[in-house]
């Protein structure tokens, strides 16, 4: 069934990427190293031993890639700026050659009529700041605000939206909690303090950008899920409640209510973050949009061994449960709990082991995945949730962090040996889906 025209007009259809995952050119034109360059260079961190040196070579192929974006017929492209590309040390001098790249990218997007949704921090902290303590050091929050102000000064009037952070839950918990991500620290206490600093840096950056460019549309992107108890037992329900408080509410409550969720704070006990006077006021300030990344729900079983989720729609190549109705449930829950600004689904998509055969990539499961999530999204919108756009993750197969290049999230296949791009069936489906909108010519 064609549900394109059931979405309100205007509605932003887009595709998303991030700098480290696609750009490559990791030391070109004065770019400084990031914590992900360092993390990749340490043996054992990346499953296929790869790194971001070349990635999709987007730094050199951005024109071709914007051509592909435009040919899809999307309204918008969500990408991130690599902080160490524009400020190699994370403080001090700006790197003009780095800014020039984003200037060229924005010019190309504008020429093709594609709106830019920019993220300032998609995990690639300048290594020089890490050497000074990284996100554990409160000073990094101020450095981030300086960087945000400079981006707003240069590009504020050329972009549709600016998000401070992408998925700070990951930066804190995978970067500092269990060492799966850069900088590779495994200390839950540090992870909690880092999460506070990430939120503080969001608030400081919001203020800096607002002062610089009062007209800019500013927000944050969070990865979110519902937490479902495996059974009706008290233990499972308590586990689910705590999981939701420690993940979703931990970031949402400070931004929208000005305090951390009491349940999670109690659970953190002595590991609770050090919060200075005035921090919560800085964090709790109006945002123009909330970016929500949705991939799966959290399934909570206190039993040993845990009760597995019912096998319904299967799992993706990441092993993530496919649970589209969770998107509807999440959005309705958020609407009940917070006074929300407009929402963008800033990421949604799946990894699959895609192969090019006879110039074609048959990824029917990805099409079904996206269709099911769009139906759930529409359902939530029809029940009153104000969602203004959807960005498919991802435009291209890319560097999937500690999984390296082995996991393919793109709707466009990348042959890393030749850098050849091949539209997967899902890209063709998405293009047709978007172009079925009333008033649009068929592609
Ligand atoms: O590739 C990542 C992205 O960088 C952040 N959100 C989840 C995606 C898939 O794991």
The domains of the chain are located at 12-242+289-439
Q: What is the pLDDT of residue 1?
A: 58
CATH architecture of the region 12-242+289-439:
Alpha-Beta Barrel (3.20)
pLDDT at 443 > cutoff 50: no
Nearest to 345 by CA among 366, 330, 357, 361: 330
- Confidence label for 311 from pLDDT (cuts 50, 70 and 90): confident
Q: What is the pLDDT of residue 371?
A: 98
Closest ligand 1 atom to 398 CA: 1
Least reliable range by pLDDT among 310-324, 373-387, 419-433: 310-324
Distance in angstroms (rounded) separating the CA atoms of residues 46 and 440: 43
Question: What's the CA-to-centroid distance between 439 and ligand 1, angstroms?
Answer: 33
Q: What is the pLDDT of residue 264?
A: 98
- Confidence label for 441 from pLDDT (cuts 50, 70 and 90): low
| Whole-structure pTM value | 0.98
pLDDT (average), residues 167-175: 98
pLDDT at 442 > cutoff 50: no
For the question of residue 347 being annotated catalytic, the response is: yes
For the question of residue 96 being annotated catalytic, the response is: no
Rounded to 5 degrees, φ, ψ at 163 are -100, 140
Report the DSSP pairing between strands 412-415 and 420-423. Answer: antiparallel
For atom 1 of ligand 1, which residue has the closest CA?
Answer: 400
Closest ligand 1 atom to 401 CA: 1
DSSP label of 248: I
Task: Say which of 160, 167, 321, 329 is annotated catalytic.
Answer: 167
pLDDT at 351 > cutoff 90: yes
pLDDT at 252 > cutoff 80: yes
Task: Say which of 321, 329, 347, 400 is annotated catalytic.
Answer: 347
Determine whether the shortest distance from the Cβ of 398 to ligand 1 is under 6 A: no
pLDDT at 79 > cutoff 90: yes
Length of the chain: 443
Question: What's the CA-to-centroid distance between 400 and ligand 1, angstroms?
Answer: 7
Q: What is the pLDDT of residue 2?
A: 74
Distances (CA, A) of 202 to 9, 85, 119: 30, 20, 12
Question: What's the CA-to-centroid distance between 233 and ligand 1, angstroms?
Answer: 33
pLDDT at 439 > cutoff 80: no
Distance in angstroms (rounded) separating the CA atoms of residues 270 and 278: 21
Nearest to 166 by CA among 100, 91, 78: 78
Question: What's the CA-to-centroid distance between 164 and ligand 1, angstroms?
Answer: 16
């Amino acid at each position: 069934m064609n549900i394109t025209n059931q979405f309100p007009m205007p509605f932003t259809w887009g595709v998303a990427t991030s700098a480290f995952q696609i750009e490559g050119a990791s030391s070109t034109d004065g770019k400084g190293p990031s914590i992900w360059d360092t993390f990749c260079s340490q043996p054992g961190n990346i499953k296929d031993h790869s790194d971001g040196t070349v990635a999709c070579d987007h730094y050199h192929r951005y024109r071709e890639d914007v051509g592909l974006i435009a040919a899809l017929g999307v309204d918008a492209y969500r990408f991130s700026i690599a902080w160490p590309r524009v400020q190699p040390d994370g403080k001090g001098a700006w790197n003009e050659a780095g800014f020039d790249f984003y200037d060229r990218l924005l010019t190309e997007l504008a020429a093709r009529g594609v709106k830019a949704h920019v993220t300032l921090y998609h995990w690639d902290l300048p290594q020089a700041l890490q050497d000074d303590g990284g996100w554990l050091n409160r000073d990094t929050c101020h450095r981030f605000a300086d960087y945000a102000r400079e981006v707003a000064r240069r590009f504020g009037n050329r972009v549709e939206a600016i998000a401070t952070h992408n998925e700070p839950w990951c930066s804190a918990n995978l970067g500092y909690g269990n060492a799966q991500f850069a900088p590779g620290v495994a200390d839950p206490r540090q992870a909690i303090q880092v999460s506070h600093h990430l939120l503080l840096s969001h608030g400081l950056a919001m203020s800096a950008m607002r002062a610089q460019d009062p007209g800019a549309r500013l927000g944050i992107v969070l990865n979110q899920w519902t937490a479902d108890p495996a059974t009706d037992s008290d233990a499972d329900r308590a586990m689910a409640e705590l999981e939701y408080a420690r993940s979703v509410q931990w970031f949402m409550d400070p931004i929208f209510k000005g305090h951390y969720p009491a349940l999670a704070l109690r659970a953190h006990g002595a590991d609770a973050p050090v919060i200075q006077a005035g921090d919560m006021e800085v964090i709790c300030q109006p945002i123009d949009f909330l970016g929500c990344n949705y991939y799966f729900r959290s399934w909570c079983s206190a039993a040993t061994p845990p009760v597995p989720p019912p096998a319904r729609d299967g799992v993706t190549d990441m092993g993530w449960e496919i649970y589209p109705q969770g998107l509807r449930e999440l959005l309705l829950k958020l609407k009940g709990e917070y006074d929300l600004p407009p929402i963008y689904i800033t990421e949604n998509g799946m990894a699959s082991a895609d192969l090019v055969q006879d110039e074609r990539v048959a990824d029917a499961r990805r099409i079904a995945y996206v269709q099911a999530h769009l139906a759930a999204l529409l359902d939530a919108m029809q029940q009153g949730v104000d969602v203004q756009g959807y960005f498919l993750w991802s435009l291209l197969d890319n560097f999937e962090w500690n999984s390296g290049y082995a996991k393919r999230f793109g709707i466009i296949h990348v042959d890393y040996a030749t850098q050849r791009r091949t539209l997967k069936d899902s890209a063709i489906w998405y293009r047709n889906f978007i172009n079925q909108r009333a008033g649009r010519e068929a592609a």
